[in-house]
Amino acid sequence: MSALIEGLFNGISIGSVLLIAALGLAIVFGLMGVINLAHGELMMLGAYTTFVVQNVFKPLGEPWFELYILFSLPVAFIVSALFGLALERGVIRFLYGRPLETLLATWGVSLILRQFVRSVNWLLVISIAVFCLCFFGGMAILKRLSHWERIRNWAITILLFISSAISIALGFLIDRVGTLALTKPWFSARNVDVTAPTWLRGGWKILGFQMPYARLFIIALTIICLLGVYWFLNRSTWGLRIRAVTQNRSMSACLGIPTAKVDALTFALGSGLAGVAGCAVSLLGSVGPNTGQNYIVDTFMVVVVGGVGNLFGTVVAGLSIGIINYLIGSGTLALIFTSTESLKPLVDFFLFFATSSMAKVMVFAIIITFLQVKPAGLFPQKGRTAEL
Amino acid sequence: MSKLGRRKFLLYGSVGLGTSILLKGCASSEETSTSTTVDSSTGTTVSDSGGDTIKVGILHSLSGTMAISETTVVEAEKLAIEEINAAGGVLGKQIVAIEEDGASDWPTFAEKARKLIDKDNVTTVFGCWTSASRKAVLPVFEEKKHMLWYPVQYEGQECSQNIFYTGAAPNQQIEPAVDWLLANKGKEFFLVGSDYVFPRTANTIIKEQLKAKSGTTVGEDYLPLGDTEVTPIITKIKAALPNGGVIFNSLNGDSNVAFFKQLQGAGLSPDKYPVMSVSIAEEEVRQIGKDYLKDHYASWNYFQTVESPANQKFVEAFKAKYGEDRVTNDPMEAAYIMVYLWKQAVEQAGTTDLEAVRKAAIGQEFDAPEGKVKMLPNHHISKTVRIGQVRDDGLFDIVWSTEKPLDPIPWNQYVPQTKGYACDWTDPNKGGRYKVEKI
């Protein structure tokens, strides 16, 4: 009995990690149809935010440091959401309806983000800030001119060169005269350590095994996020608009729904959830530039299996992939059949797959077979919906 | 529509161009800053190199997943080169290091090795970390009859004339660790490793050794590189070792973090389930978080806490150059001493001619931070073996060490295929792999 509960708990805990990581993608990819390969990097941003918040809380002493994780959740959400907003406004909105270009562009963004956290230092931040100030400030001033439309292209080109020249020159200057503090990378290419507060370490002993608090925390967090997303999509005005745009973009636009705003908001929401997921996985795994890469394949797998455009499908897919992965990988499936002598070949078969690497192979094989039977996932959308 | 397209094209084109220039500007400023440090330290510039400098190659991953570890090794190598240059250089010439980035991609390593040898005409190459990258460059060095110095502990089963290995062979790290565990911690072992050549070979050796010394392997599992879900493995450990036992860990990289965090969460504490790691040194302890690793064990030849004048000097020099908050570890120390061993070999040979240096390298002794080391005819060095336990500050308490340096055995004597073989490059009849006569 306790073995069964332990198995179920472990399966659910693996599934909840998959689910929370995939939740943001279920919105971005599922509802909007954007193949966002930078999703993992948005998680990574959330994880790094957790690291920064942890270091801010460290000097505050005991009662506060214990609670840093609760503060880092909203901060991670906001940081990732803002970044997602910038990404949508700056890149993705030009690429709606062109999945292949989106794929390449977001892959590029993910590479840039990974390199960014490796090499970010004050020098780089100052240079970028100065560039933005010159470029967008100049644009704002020039826009007041009456013949702006005519000179637009030239102005932008010249402005671009001037602002980059200024920021590069400033960068060189700071590099020459500045101290090490300015040129020292914030995080460097090394992994950083996120140590869970003491109340999330260890576990709850029950029925002869121990439920890790970190896992329980993630399960609770997943449930809260799910309920929040469900409430937002089905009970709020903006949720209604998001659903309307998902179902029929041109009709929604005709009825006066600001589709561009809805797109931006949806993408920001999905990105913010990725940030929360990043905060959650920092309790279990490593935090480094490649953190996102460890999750990106799994998250797409969950959304595809669940059926694009269906949150409920994502939930079922995440949990079942987690449970299957655990049952195969830990050899529990093989143990169940050992009692029956006639099932010996089956036991051998499962024992062969009862290692972490082979379990992955098996799960992939099952998923591919499943997608042959149901190509649109567990709960395919019916009727004419996402025509993106 | 077409006009808009052109306009937009112009806009994005210029934005892209501008950004790339910006990034390039930042990147090049970084590059110039690093090259100036090398130049100022060598006291010479690359342009007027002429005949008064000696070029060496440094070939490590400066980007990609392995950059985390390999950049620290590069730092140690540059420190050694700087010290040698400050003391007058080699044969009266200054050493100029040419850095190449292997980018954590094994074919790139081979390509860059070729470039260093053919285009830069370096006199030797210091480089590689993973066994996969070493195996990738090995054919290049054999074909060109060139020389590679390799600083990382590895699985053995290799002995090339063109490589000098200054990291530990299995008998200088894994085997003493297993013996110590058998004597002090228990006879039942669970083996966990990343799914690639080093852990698999290492675990083959451990299993043979346990069989020979009445220990038992109760289970083993391999995690794909970078995987962070270890719940199934922890379940298996609990099932196989219900009353506690030894976990032998050869995981590499990110998986270690997940492993130790989740191990603690599942209530497997170091008093009942001590973990012996062979890929976790001071730098990794910092990245995983010392609270998760406290009281677990690691086996290395060098810890920052080794007490010797040579080590004190090394640690101080390193901290002075790279910052007070930095730590030194075993591969860094091996990288540091290999530059000195090469320098001594060149000085004894009186030339940078490869054949002469290769001959002169054998027998070189050096008072390393870890203790005395000596290059032996099998191109590996003798090393002291130590076992450390992680303490509160993230450094290691040395709980056990061999009394004197252990001679390396590259061909493993527990594995049937290589039992009875040895390696000796001083005797042309013996070479890389020969059968030892029974005495």
Residues on chain B touching A354 (C-beta within 8 angstroms): 236
- Residue in chain A closest to B19 (alpha carbons) equals A164
Q: Predicted confidence band at B13 (pLDDT cuts at 50, 70, 90)?
A: low
The percentage of chain A sitting over the pLDDT mark of 70, rounded to a whole number, equals: 96
Instruction: Using CB atoms, pick whichever of B21, B232, B256 lies closest to residue A326.
Output: B232
Among B10, B227, B253, select the one facing A356 at the smallest CB separation: B227
> Could A119 and B30 be called an inter-chain contact, meaning their C-beta atoms sit closer than 8 Å?
yes
Residue B279, pLDDT score: 86
Mention every residue, 6+ apart, whose C-beta is less than 8 A from residue A228.
none
Chain A residues with CB inside 8 Å of B68's CB?
Answer: 189-191, 288
Q: What is the distance between the alpha carbons of residues B63 and B59, in angstroms, rounded to a whole number?
A: 12
DSSP designation for B381: B
A270 touches chain B (CB under 8 A): no
Q: Are B188 and B172 in contact (CB under 8 A)?
A: no
Interface contact B223-A357, CB threshold 8 A: yes
**Domain covering A2-116+204-379 in this structure, CATH number:** 1.10.3470
With contacts defined as CB-CB under 8 Å, which chain B residues touch A132?
none
Name the 3-class secondary structure at A204: strand
Span A147-187, pLDDT tens digits: 877 888 888 888 889 989 998 888 888 877 767 777 777 88
The CA-atom distances, in angstroms, between A300 and each of A224, A246, A318, B153 are 22, 19, 10, 37
Are the Cβ atoms of B26 and A127 closer than 8 angstroms? yes
Mean pLDDT of A231-247: 90
pLDDT value for B330 = 93
Distance in angstroms (rounded) separating the CA atoms of residues B270 and B293? 9
- This model's pTM is above 0.90: no
Contact A160 B283 (CB under 8 A): no
- How many Cβ atoms are within 10 Å of B393's Cβ, its own excluded? 9
Q: Would you place residue B435 in the very low, low, confident or very high pLDDT band (cuts 50, 70, 90)?
A: confident
For residue A209, the chain B residues in CB contact (below 8 A) are 238
What amino acid occupies position B405? P
- Would you tell me how many other CB atoms lie within 10 Å of the CB of residue B169? 27
Which residue of chain A has the CA closest to B224? A357
A-chain residue closest to B262, CA distance: A284
Numbered ranges of CATH 1.10.3470 in chain A: 2-116+204-379
CA distances from A264 to A319, A353, B258, B262, B380 (A): 29, 44, 34, 37, 60
Kindly determine whether residue B68 and residue A153, on different chains, have CB atoms separated by under 8 Å.
Answer: no
Which pLDDT score is estimated for B379?
A: 93
Q: Do A284 and B256 touch (CB under 8 A)?
A: no
Of the candidates A118, A127, A288, which has its C-beta nearest B22's C-beta? A127
Interatomic CA distance for residues B269 and A356, integer angstroms: 22
pLDDT, tens digit, for every residue of A326-383? 888 887 777 777 666 677 777 888 888 888 888 888 899 999 999 999 888 888 776 5
Residue-wise pLDDT tens digits, B398-410: 999 998 899 999 8
Residue B126 φ/ψ, nearest 5 degrees: -105, 125
The helix (run of H) or strand (run of E) holding residue B222 is strand B216-223
Instruction: Please judge whether A190 and B68 are an interchain contact, meaning their C-beta atoms are less than 8 angstroms apart.
Output: yes
Lowest average pLDDT, out of B40-54, B88-102, B285-299, goes to B40-54
The shortest C-alpha distance from B288 to chain A (Å) reads 5
Per-window interface: B 56-95 vs A, CB < 8 A: 63, 65, 67-68, 71
Which residues between 275 and 334 in chain B have a beta carbon less than 8 angstroms from any beta carbon of chain A?
283, 286-289, 291-292
Strands B163-165 and B148-150: parallel
Q: Is the pLDDT of residue A385 over 60?
A: no
- Chosen from B74, B261, B285, B390 to mutate, greatest number of chain A CBs within 10 A: B261
Q: Distances from the Cα of A302 to the Cαs of A336, A373, B229, in angstroms?
A: 26, 16, 16
State ipTM: 0.80
Q: How far apart are CA A196 and CA A112, in angstroms?
A: 29
